[in-house]
Amino acid sequence: MATLRDEIYPIRSSDDIVKVRQITREWALMQTFSLVDQTKIVTAASELARNTLEHGRGGEVRIQALQEGPRRGLRLTFTDQGPGIPDLAKALQDGFTTGNGMGLGLSGSKRLMNDFDIQSEVGKGTTVMIARWK
Amino acid sequence: MERIPILKMGSFLLVTVQVDMHDRLAMTLQDDLTGRIVKDRAHGVLIDISSLEIVDSFIGRMIGNIASMARVLDAETVVVGMRPAVAITLVELGLSLPGVRTALNVDQGVELLKECIEERAQGNGHVAG
């Protein structure tokens, strides 16, 4: 698998969420995703960036433009050093929330993407990886 | 501070969201709009989201909240101009905006608002507006 581009952006404020959306849109366009796919990727990125900020007390996102044979992909990895998630299975359920959201962030972004992986350790932090391929 | 303008259109309020909405701006709109419904004695709110490239769960919740608050304040809300890609994504995300009326454009939104208000007036046995 070839990495065409690889960058890291901070998620420290509500403005950074908007910035992550804009960057993700640019990269999805660069990878020639359809408008619907772009919208799905940007929406998932927005959900996870907000999780990183609100539940993880801020962190960063690594964004990678990938190529595997004829397939192009976009992978985003959100990392925080926040409190971690004690019960992952529960956190992945629709409607489960500890904040004041709707509890669709994790489960929803999983549905919007092709690949989804989450690692979390209580007291250490959380890493969520999502990718979409065309 | 940055604000989303709210225009008065007869007994309706029109909000056209033209910027990439960050979370604080969405909260401010919620506050501004409920204030204006009371001040202008509005019976309907039109939220034009045709410029929005995405609606995530936060913005979706904000739209739902506005509709609920407006209803408590005796006003109906119609969301207009949602892009097809946004609609597809919203449903897949798991957000179906329950209780929020939608129309394809502002003209149809105005018609829908008029119908809602008329219906409600008949149902309640008094005339709104």
Q: What ipTM score was computed for the predicted complex, to two decimals?
A: 0.90
Q: Which of A39, A105, A109 sits opposite B86 (nearest CB)?
A: A39
Q: B125: distance to nearest CA of chain A, Å?
A: 36
* Whole-number pLDDT of residue B129: 47
User: What is the set of domains in chain B, with CATH numbers?
Assistant: 6-124 (3.30.750.24)
Residue of chain A nearest B27, judged by CA positions: A14
* Number of other CB atoms surrounding residue A126 within 10 Å: 26
Q: Which of B22, B85, B86 sits opposite A17 (nearest CB)?
A: B22
Answer whether residue A111 shows pLDDT above 90: yes
Q: What is the 3-state secondary structure (H, E, C) of chain A?
A: CEEEEEEEEEECCHHHHHHHHHHHHHHHHHCCCCHHHHHHHHHHHHHHHHHHHHCCCCEEEEEEEEEECCEEEEEEEEEECCCCCCCHHHHCCCCCCCCCCCCCHHHHHHHHCCEEEEEEECCCEEEEEEEEEC
Note whether B53 contacts A111, CB cutoff 8 Å. Answer: no
Mean pLDDT of chain A: 93
B30 touches chain A (CB under 8 A): no
Mean pLDDT within A49-70: 96
CATH number of A2-133: 3.30.565.10
**Integer Cα distance of B81 and A84 in angstroms:** 39
Judging contacts by C-beta atoms under 8 Å, the chain B residues touching residue A40 are 88-89, 92
- DSSP letters of B58-83? HHHHHHHHHHHHHHHTT-EEEEE---
Fill in the amino acid letter for A41: I
Q: Which residue, among B43, B62, B47, has the nearest Cα to B6 in the 3D structure?
A: B47
Structure tokens at B17: 């969201």
**A117 or B95: which leads in pLDDT:** A117
B57 touches chain A (CB under 8 A): yes
Exposed/middle/buried for A118, CB within 10 Å: 0-12, 13-18, 19+?
middle
Fill in the amino acid letter for B55: V
State the pLDDT confidence band at A121, using cuts at 50, 70 and 90.
very high
Residues B19 and B25: beta-carbon distance below 8 Å: yes
* Whole-number pLDDT of residue A99: 64
A97 touches chain B (CB under 8 A): no
With a CB cutoff of 8 Å and minimum separation 6, the contacts of A77 are A61, A62, A63, A64, A127, A128, A129, A130
Judging contacts by C-beta atoms under 8 Å, the chain B residues touching residue A105 are 57
Judging contacts by C-beta atoms under 8 Å, the chain A residues touching residue B85 are 35-36, 38-39
Residue of chain A nearest B52, judged by CA positions: A39
Query: For chain A, which residues make up each domain, given as ranges?
Result: 2-133
* Whole-number pLDDT of residue B66: 93
Answer whether residue A124 shows pLDDT above 80: yes
* Whole-number pLDDT of residue A104: 79
Q: What is chain B's pLDDT, residue by residue, as a tens digit (129 residues)?
A: 788 999 999 999 999 998 878 888 888 999 999 999 999 999 999 999 999 999 999 899 899 999 999 999 999 999 999 999 999 999 999 988 888 999 999 999 999 999 988 888 887 655 544
